[in-house]
Amino acid sequence: MHTIGVDIGGTKIAAGVVTEDGRILARVRRETPATDVQAIEDAVVDAVRELRAEHETEAVGVAAAGFVDATRSVVTFAPNLAWRDEPLRADLERQLHLPVVVENDANAAAWGEFVHGAGRAVQDMVLLTIGTGLGGGIVTGGHLLRGPAGFAGELGHLRVVPDGFRCGCGNRGCWEQYASGRALVREARELAVTAPPAAARLLELAGGDPHRIEGPHVTRAATEGDPAAVELLADLGRWIGEGAASVVAVLDPSMVVVGGGVSAAGDLLLEPVRAAFRRQLTARGHRPEPAVELAQLGNDAGMIGVAGLARIR
């Protein structure tokens, strides 16, 4: 029997019918009304009903961009969405009449990569999802690490710069403020304002307006060989790699997987990540060195992972 995976992000809701071996048979997409709790639930229900009309399913997994409690039921807090102590599982089960499992979106993506993607050959891995923010998911001994409250793996909210940039979580200096798509865009726009000649290609792609520069513009310019864009990705990679080395010092995984939308830059991002990681890795040369790899499932990792978690609820 198939399950449905729903991945709720800050801008879109992606849902799909997923087989036991991780194949997506059908998919739909909805916009995320980020400030309206009821509208988010309505969009999820509508997407699931559309898929169920054509496919028999036994359960639904929902990957939510927020803190999910240990019962995998309540989204207690979401930095970029309107959820506060939201009983998401109960609300959805009441409308869908199917079992529902709710999981943090990065945890879901980590499980997807562990079972069906880059982490298939290991038992211990860390996933870093580099999108608008920075999410983390940890698999140890073949099990998803969730913690007694359900909040383990919030790596993006490690505080790396005291009194640094304000984060959506309310603190200052969180890792995701320096190692994320948001950070990349902030630096690119600042460069375009302060040094327009250096950012000429980025400005061209953004129609001449520095405030319209987005992450894909940086990636495109970098793949064309634009020096400023290459340097912007290298700076982002340094932040990711140095932070990853600190995470490895705590968790000792066999692999660090880099995913999320920014990973579309490929080696232009991954090579600076690896270089910074190796420079900062504690006891390098006297310990097994974890592999640092790109995720293999792309934006489908959360959907595939949470569908699998719904199957083993």
Q: What tens digit of pLDDT does each residue of 14-32 get?
A: 999 999 999 999 999 998 8
Assign 3-state DSSP to the chain and report helix, strand, coil percentages, each to 5: 40, 25, 35
In a domain, 208, yes or no: yes
Classified as helix, coil or strand, 138 is strand
Same domain as 291, residue 195: yes
Same domain as 128, residue 220: yes
Question: Stretch 162-190: mean pLDDT, rounded?
Answer: 95
How large a percentage of the chain has pLDDT more than 70?
A: 100
Give the integer Cα–Cα distance in Å for 11 and 8.
8
In a domain, 115, yes or no: no
* For helices 301-311 and 105-116, angle between their N-to-C axes, nearest 10 degrees: 80
pLDDT at 214: 96
pLDDT at 11: 77
Instruction: Report whether pLDDT(169) > 90.
Output: no
Residues 6 or more apart in contact with residue 168 via CB below 8 angstroms: 79, 80, 133
Same domain as 130, residue 101: no
To which H or E segment does residue 232 belong? Answer: helix 227-251
Classified as helix, coil or strand, 312 is coil
Give the integer Cα–Cα distance in Å for 306 and 105.
8
Instruction: Report whether pLDDT(305) > 90.
Output: yes
In a domain, 73, yes or no: yes
Token reading at 94: 């009441």
In a domain, 154, yes or no: yes
How large a percentage of the chain has pLDDT more than 90?
A: 88
pLDDT at 139: 98
With CA atoms as reference, report the closest residue to 302 among 1, 8, 20, 41: 8
Give the integer Cα–Cα distance in Å for 214 and 167.
19
Boundaries of domain holding 35: 2-110+300-311
Same domain as 249, residue 128: yes
Question: Stretch 177-181: mean pLDDT, rounded?
Answer: 96
What separation in angstroms does the CA of 269 have from each of 16, 33, 180? 29, 31, 12
Question: How many domains is the chain partitioned into structurally?
Answer: 2
User: 239 near 183, Cβ under 8 Å?
Assistant: yes
CB-based burial label for 98 (10 Å; 0-12, 13-18, 19+): middle
Same domain as 307, residue 290: no
In a domain, 116, yes or no: no
Same domain as 192, residue 277: yes
Question: Stretch 96-114: mean pLDDT, rounded?
Answer: 96
In a domain, 246, yes or no: yes
Task: Quick: pLDDT tens for 30-56.
Answer: 988 878 889 999 999 999 999 999 999
Token reading at 171: 């603190």
pLDDT at 259: 94
Question: Stretch 2-19: mean pLDDT, rounded?
Answer: 92
Same domain as 164, residue 255: yes
Give the integer Cα–Cα distance in Å for 8 and 12.
6
Amino acid at residue number 273: V
In a domain, 273, yes or no: yes
Instruction: Report whether pLDDT(303) > 80.
Output: yes
Give the integer Cα–Cα distance in Å for 75 and 93.
15
Same domain as 150, residue 52: no
In a domain, 74, yes or no: yes
Confidence of residue 66 (pLDDT cuts 50, 70, 90): confident
To which H or E segment does residue 268 belong? Answer: helix 267-280
Question: Stretch 88-112: mean pLDDT, rounded?
Answer: 96
Instruction: Report whether pLDDT(79) > 80.
Output: no
With CA atoms as reference, report the closest residue to 88 among 107, 97, 101: 101
Same domain as 219, residue 307: no
Same domain as 157, residue 61: no
Same domain as 217, residue 304: no
Same domain as 184, residue 142: yes
Task: Quick: pLDDT tens for 253-264.
Answer: 999 999 998 898
pLDDT at 37: 87
Q: What is the CATH number of the domain that holds 231?
A: 3.30.420.40
